[in-house]
Structure 1
Amino acid sequence: MTAVFLSNQVIKNAILSFILTSFSCDGMVIITLSASLQSLKPRPCEGNSCPSATQVQKIVFYSGLYLIAFSSGGVKSSLLPLGADQFDDENPAERTKQGSFFNWFYFCINVGALTSSTLIVWIQEHVGWAVGYGIASLCMALAAGCFLIGMPIIRTREPQGCPLKRVLQVLVACLHKVNLRVPADSSCLYDVQDNDFNIQGTRKLAHTTQFRFLDKAATMSDLDCKEGGEYSPWRLCTVTQVEELKMLLRLFPIWVASIVYSIAYAQMYTTLVE
């Protein structure tokens, strides 16, 4: 969520992705050092007695873990839209390549997960934890380096505002107009000209008849105007804003259905270690 907010409000997606990739690389280096240096490792067990780690050793180790956890969540949420930005949806040829990109992206993620859960785990158990972590650190460093080299040719978009705010505006506008009747003619709903959407970098969406109760947010009333004749975005939303929320609602069942799969998928990271 933090990465999504930053990429939409403050930092370009490409820059944020590189920063988070660098953080992940730093975290892997810290973990590697924690498993390599004697001063950062607990003393070996003597019989049934195993000395506990010192406070400094715990701080170093957990700081690496938390840095990886923070950056990994951000990288996963920022890389996918960054990849989508490299293709023009208006171009049929690039739209086909975009679908191919998503397929290869998911394939590479699973190959990486399979490799880390089998080969890297085997190396850690039979060669050494430091070697296993070192290989992962090297891979992250190579990824960050390749990303940096490709930065000049990457397509980037300027931050366009928080999408969550647009969703909340639709919900609040609906609550204001809960007793208002939606017009039968969709052309009577509030919308803006194509030029305004081009300036904002937003694509105009066509009206759909599903979830008609949300159309209340785009239904105009006398109370929608602020001082100066402008419409309040918290009382009147465009058809495109309403359709964006409708799209999220249509995706909700798919998200719910994937929860069970995600739970089972997450077990792959711990099965072999246990």
Structure 2
Amino acid sequence: MIEAKMEVEKKMNENGEEEKRSEINNNEKKKLGGIKTMPFILANDMCDRFASTGFHANMITYMTQKLNLPLVKASNTLTNFGGTASFTPLIGALLADSFAGRFWTIIVGSIIYELGLVSITISAVLPQLRPPPCPTQENCKEASTLQLWVLYISLLLTSLGTGGIRPCVVTFAADQFDLTKSKTEAPGWSFFNIYFFCMAMASLSALTVVVYIQDNVGWGWGLGLPTIAMALSIIAFVVGSSLYKKLKPGGSPLTRLAQVIVAAAKKRKVVAPHDPTFLYENKELDADISCNGRLLHTDQFKWFDRAAIVTDEDKTESELPNLWRLATVHRVEELKCIIRMLPVWAAGILLVTSNSHLQSFTIQQARSMDRHLSHSFQIPPATMSIFSILIVLIGLVLYDRLFVPFARRFTRNPAGITCLQRMGIGFTVNILSTVVSALVESKRKAVAAHHNLLDKPTAIVPISVFWLVPQFCLNGMAEVFMSVGHLEFLYDQSPESMRSTAAALYWVSISAGNYIGTLMVSLVHKYTGKENNWLPDRNLNRGRLDYYYWLVSGIQVVNLIYYVICAWFYSYKPLEEVKESGDGDVELSEALNDGNGNGVKLAKNDTI
């Protein structure tokens, strides 16, 4: 009796100590993350955006004016490396979600990116790494193979570094907050608007300061400034490391998806139960990949439910099942989430295809137009992008303060409209942008013909560069709706353990769009003849750039129809949220996510 009593007391003391340790760990976790981490994380991403925008915004000018490359070749080179830079985030995201974690992936990616900036800056400073100057832009000597390889290596390093930064920074920043609480009014929406606002501010600074230095001071300083900014971003991020909430990687998401597919294939002849509650669930097994709540069973893609059917062969003495034969409902629903998202995600590819070369061509248009603000000062061509950035900054504020309250009266949605509706508006506005681009280019060519300047590629056409402002403004407005909505959709509708991978999908769509855009430009350049080529190598005045813009507009109309069909049939993911009650107990509530980070409560279980 005495020994038994002592044993019970010993166990009670051990349990009490474990509870205290658990309570201490929970309190420590609560102290991490939050708003105090934002200065360090956003400082890192703003410096990175400042560096990348300053580096890429005017690179078409560097390649055509300093390396003497033809317009189409230079544009395709930039687009191809842009596509690579948008594909590598998938690799970085898989590494981060599998074992490296977002924190270390960001640091390694930033260092590689910095090496790329250092190498391109050195090539801009040393004359032997550039061909002789060609001010007339006629019979120019192009950069040699060695000089181009220095450029390619620099672009490759920045592309690889981008793979570690882009998919992880926004998700790492979002990890510092609880974006799943149903009681918080549109939390995900607010965070992503703030994030894009900060990035737009960084881009605006780069387009005004860095581009001016590149055009009027020199490319050494013009590329050196982004290099310094990137170095400062790494320092800022490391300084705040002790404050960050660092989520544990949940293992390779691709492996889990493959396990579900293989398990379902092995049980393809097994009859699924009519009641989904008989499917396999294991909270402990899914604990690391469902911190914010488990995914609930859905009736879509029922074939994959076979992976969660428990058969006699699955019953073993081991506590852990063979995941290549048996998957939990949560893991099956992870795969279903990705499959549901893919058609909507794919709609962004053709949008990027349509816009992939517009920046390069617009800069060349601006270079041929009257850019004077006074007799002694003229706007650098690449700086015209500031009008797009300004509209993004103003648009995000107006969207938050005016549009959402107005729309909320009719939709009763805390976010005003869903992210799918937001993306649809962005697609529509972008079509208007390219239509205006076509009309403005027709006007520019008409003025050039009126003043007999069609055969003078370096002549300034007497038409104000501000004719390009409307298309930049429409492009910025489209980004307020489309870009923010697209990234928000991918983050919110993806399984929580795959959010870096989902953010990478945003960049993969840009990658695929850039590659398809290069193919489209190459085909247009090849098959539109030599006499009246739509996209000539040197003389834009003899081209048919307006025809190209009309082609792009038509592609976007077809893409919009496809997107509307996909959005109409899309089903939002159901989530069983884990919430803390006022007395510290844990409650479970089934929530159907509305696509804006808001849970719509369906049922509530007893406190456990």
Q: TM-score surpassing 0.5?
A: yes
- Aligned residue identity for 1:19: V
Tell me, in whole angstroms, the C-alpha distance in 2 between the residues paired with 1:259 and 1:90: 29
Residues 116-151 of structure 1 deviation map (CA, whole Å, 9 limit, x = unaligned): 567644543344322322232233223222212222
Tell me, in whole angstroms, the C-alpha distance in 2 between the residues paired with 1:267 and 1:122: 22
Question: Please, which of 117, 120, 129 is the counterpart of residue 40 of structure 1?
Answer: 129
What is the CA-CA distance between 1:226 and the residue it aligns to?
A: 6.5
Contact 2:213 2:221 in 1 (8 A): yes
Q: CA 1:199/1:122 → structure 2, altered by over 3 Å: closer, same or farther?
A: closer
Q: CA 1:93/1:267 → structure 2, altered by over 3 Å: closer, same or farther?
A: farther
Tell me, in whole angstroms, the C-alpha distance in 2 between the residues paired with 1:82 and 1:95: 21
Contact 1:87 1:95 in 2 (8 A): no
Q: TM-score, normalised by structure 1?
A: 0.84
1:216-255 → structure 2 map (5 Å cutoff)? 216-225=306-315, 231-255=321-345
Secondary structure of 2:240 counterpart: helix
- In the other structure, the counterpart of 1:213 is 303
Q: TM-score, normalised by structure 2?
A: 0.41
- In the other structure, the counterpart of 1:5 is 94
- Aligned residue identity for 1:158: K
Contact 1:211 1:246 in 2 (8 A): yes
What is the CA-CA distance between 1:94 and the residue it aligns to?
A: 7.2
- Aligned residue identity for 2:351: Y
- In the other structure, the counterpart of 2:248 is 158
Contact 2:109 2:161 in 1 (8 A): yes
Tell me, in whole angstroms, the C-alpha distance in 1 between the residues paired with 2:271 and 2:140: 72
Contact 2:259 2:325 in 1 (8 A): yes
Unaligned runs of 5+ in 2: 1-89, 365-608
Q: CA 1:113/1:46 → structure 2, altered by over 3 Å: closer, same or farther?
A: closer
- In the other structure, the counterpart of 1:129 is 219
Larger deviation, residues 111-120 vs 96-105: 111-120
Q: CA 1:95/1:239 → structure 2, altered by over 3 Å: closer, same or farther?
A: farther
How large is the Cα RMSD of the aligned pairs? Answer: 3.0
The count of residues paired between Structure 1 and Structure 2 equals 273
- In the other structure, the counterpart of 2:518 is none
Contact 2:286 2:330 in 1 (8 A): no
- Aligned residue identity for 1:232: N
Matching of residue 73 in structure 1 with residue 200 in structure 2: no
Question: Please, which of 114, 119, 128 is the counterpart of residue 25 of structure 1?
Answer: 114
Tell me, in whole angstroms, the C-alpha distance in 2 between the residues paired with 1:253 and 1:199: 28
Tell me, in whole angstroms, the C-alpha distance in 1 between the residues paired with 2:351 and 2:135: 43
- Aligned residue identity for 2:118: V
Tell me, in whole angstroms, the C-alpha distance in 1 between the residues paired with 2:279 and 2:159: 45
Residues 153-201 of structure 1 deviation map (CA, whole Å, 9 limit, x = unaligned): 1111222211111111111111112222211111100111x34433666
Secondary structure of 2:314 counterpart: coil
What is the CA-CA distance between 1:46 and the residue it aligns to?
A: 9.5
Unaligned runs of 5+ in 1: none
What is the CA-CA distance between 1:212 and the residue it aligns to?
A: 1.6
What is the CA-CA distance between 1:42 and the residue it aligns to?
A: 3.3
What is the CA-CA distance between 1:243 and the residue it aligns to?
A: 0.7
Tell me, in whole angstroms, the C-alpha distance in 2 between the residues paired with 1:261 and 1:39: 40
Tell me, in whole angstroms, the C-alpha distance in 2 between the residues paired with 1:112 and 1:267: 22
Secondary structure of 2:286 counterpart: helix
- In the other structure, the counterpart of 2:367 is none
Contact 2:109 2:163 in 1 (8 A): no
- In the other structure, the counterpart of 2:151 is 61
Question: Please, which of 160, 167, 173 is the counterpart of residue 83 of structure 1?
Answer: 173
Secondary structure of 1:204 counterpart: strand
Q: CA 1:4/1:226 → structure 2, altered by over 3 Å: closer, same or farther?
A: farther
Q: CA 1:177/1:195 → structure 2, altered by over 3 Å: closer, same or farther?
A: closer
After the TM superposition, list the runs of 4 or more consecutive aligned residues in structure 1 that deviate by more than 6 angstroms. Answer: 46-49
Q: CA 1:109/1:46 → structure 2, altered by over 3 Å: closer, same or farther?
A: closer
Tell me, in whole angstroms, the C-alpha distance in 1 between the residues paired with 2:109 and 2:307: 37
1:54-203 → structure 2 map (5 Å cutoff)? 57-89=147-179, 91=181, 96-110=186-200, 112=202, 120-121=210-211, 123-192=213-282, 194-198=283-287, 202=291, 203=293
Larger deviation, residues 257-266 vs 44-53: 44-53
- Aligned residue identity for 1:40: L
Identity of aligned residues (%): 32
Secondary structure of 1:208 counterpart: coil
Contact 1:87 1:97 in 2 (8 A): no
Name whichever structure is richer in strand by fraction: 2
Tell me, in whole angstroms, the C-alpha distance in 1 between the residues paired with 2:141 and 2:328: 64
